[in-house]
Amino acid sequence: METGVRRATAASLASALFLAASLAAIAEIAAHPTSEPGILSSTWTPFRGVWSLIAGDAVFGGDWDFWPIALGLLVLVAVAVVLGLAGIGLITYLLGPAPQPVAAMVVGAAWGLLVQIVVVALLVGGLLGGPAYDALPRWAWWLGTGTWGVALGLLWAAPVAAGRRAGTGAA
């Protein structure tokens, strides 16, 4: 059991880091206008936007500022890890402890899109407001959470599938 918890945590952390990197890359490439006048999305705006949910809109911006970026990244990754563990629980509940990778990726994508709707769009974008949801193009949140879910499912199922191919059974 302990190995499964460690593996789930590692898969969830890796997919959370993937989410953070993909949101930062999309924001930088898009250079999309944010809800704050004169601020275009950049590598840093997703993290500063997340931190602005806690520290207030004054910390939002597009330039380098270590603490809002580091703390926003920490919050984003922590929330993604916790929600990722819940997603792994759902994948395991629906598909069993040794899911096929494609099926796990499909369930993971559905989980990512559910998280997008409930947590990002309704909670962050609707109830909490502020610049966080507009820190990058809205479609980027959909793409980011969907691919985060796919990565989550793949990272959870791939070691088990590799063990089956090698003849060692479920990991």
User: pLDDT value at position 168?
Assistant: 57
Instruction: Give 154's Cβ-side CA count (13 Å radius).
Output: 10
pTM of structure: 0.91
Q: Does any domain span residue 141?
A: yes
Q: How many structural domains does the chain have?
A: 1
Identify whether 56 is part of a domain.
Answer: yes
The per-residue pLDDT string of the chain (171 residues; one tens digit each, 9 = 90 and over) reads: 588 899 999 999 999 999 999 999 999 999 999 989 999 999 999 999 999 999 999 999 989 999 999 999 999 999 999 999 999 999 999 999 999 999 999 999 999 999 999 999 999 988 888 899 999 999 999 999 999 999 999 999 988 766 666 665 554
Query: Which distant-in-sequence residues (6+ apart) come within 8 Å of 61 by Cβ?
Result: 36, 39, 44, 45, 48, 68
171 occurs within a structural domain: no
For residue 21, the model assigns a pLDDT of 98
How far apart are alpha carbons 36 and 114 in whole angstroms? 27
Range of the domain at 106: 2-166
Identify whether the C-beta of residue 84 lies closer than 8 Å to the C-beta of residue 16.
Answer: yes
